[in-house]
Amino acid sequence: MAGEIRNIKTEIEKGGILVITIDLNKSCGPSKSGKTEVIASSGGFVAIPDWKEGYSINLNVIRKK
Protein backbone atom coordinates (compact mmCIF):
# COMPACT_ATOMS: atom_id res chain seq x y z
CA MET A 1 0.00 0.00 0.00
CA ALA A 2 1.44 3.35 -1.03
CA GLY A 3 1.52 6.38 1.21
CA GLU A 4 0.60 9.95 0.48
CA ILE A 5 2.15 11.71 -2.56
CA ARG A 6 3.86 14.87 -1.30
CA ASN A 7 5.20 17.81 -3.36
CA ILE A 8 5.18 15.94 -6.69
CA LYS A 9 3.18 16.96 -9.75
CA THR A 10 3.17 14.87 -12.92
CA GLU A 11 1.90 15.35 -16.43
CA ILE A 12 2.14 13.36 -19.64
CA GLU A 13 3.26 15.35 -22.66
CA LYS A 14 2.56 14.45 -26.27
CA GLY A 15 4.51 11.36 -27.25
CA GLY A 16 4.31 9.82 -23.78
CA ILE A 17 6.89 12.03 -22.05
CA LEU A 18 6.44 12.03 -18.26
CA VAL A 19 7.20 15.43 -16.71
CA ILE A 20 7.77 15.51 -12.94
CA THR A 21 7.71 18.84 -11.11
CA ILE A 22 9.03 19.21 -7.55
CA ASP A 23 9.34 22.46 -5.60
CA LEU A 24 12.84 22.16 -4.11
CA ASN A 25 12.10 25.08 -1.75
CA LYS A 26 9.41 23.12 0.13
CA SER A 27 9.88 20.71 3.01
CA CYS A 28 7.70 17.75 3.93
CA GLY A 29 9.41 17.35 7.30
CA PRO A 30 12.08 15.04 8.67
CA SER A 31 12.61 11.49 7.46
CA LYS A 32 11.70 8.61 9.78
CA SER A 33 15.34 8.30 10.86
CA GLY A 34 15.64 12.05 11.40
CA LYS A 35 18.93 12.16 9.47
CA THR A 36 17.45 13.88 6.41
CA GLU A 37 14.66 16.25 5.44
CA VAL A 38 12.08 14.99 2.94
CA ILE A 39 11.53 17.41 0.07
CA ALA A 40 9.22 15.19 -2.01
CA SER A 41 7.95 11.62 -1.88
CA SER A 42 5.66 9.37 -3.86
CA GLY A 43 5.07 7.32 -0.69
CA GLY A 44 6.13 4.11 -2.42
CA PHE A 45 5.22 2.79 -5.84
CA VAL A 46 2.22 4.61 -7.34
CA ALA A 47 0.49 4.35 -10.69
CA ILE A 48 1.34 7.09 -13.18
CA PRO A 49 -1.81 9.23 -13.43
CA ASP A 50 -3.54 9.38 -16.82
CA TRP A 51 -1.33 6.70 -18.35
CA LYS A 52 -1.51 3.03 -19.28
CA GLU A 53 -2.12 0.38 -16.63
CA GLY A 54 0.99 -1.32 -15.29
CA TYR A 55 3.25 1.76 -15.21
CA SER A 56 4.31 3.12 -11.82
CA ILE A 57 6.93 5.34 -10.21
CA ASN A 58 8.72 5.41 -6.86
CA LEU A 59 10.42 8.71 -6.06
CA ASN A 60 12.00 10.36 -3.03
CA VAL A 61 13.92 13.65 -2.87
CA ILE A 62 15.78 14.33 0.37
CA ARG A 63 18.22 16.89 1.76
CA LYS A 64 20.92 16.13 4.32
CA LYS A 65 20.46 18.02 7.57
Q: What is the pLDDT of residue 1?
A: 44
Its pTM stands at: 0.86
Q: What is the pLDDT of residue 16?
A: 95
Q: What is the pLDDT of residue 64?
A: 95
Instruction: With a cut of 70, list the residues of the chain below it in pLDDT.
Output: 1-2
Q: What is the pLDDT of residue 19?
A: 97
Question: Using an 8 Å Cβ cutoff, are 20 and 8 in contact?
Answer: yes
Q: What is the pLDDT of residue 26?
A: 97
CA distances 44 to 13, 14, 15, 16, 56, Å, are 23, 26, 26, 22, 10
**At a CB cut-off of 8 Å and minimum separation 6, what does 28 contact?**
6, 7, 37, 38, 39, 40, 41
Pairing, β 9-13 against β 17-21:
antiparallel
Q: What is the pLDDT of residue 63?
A: 97
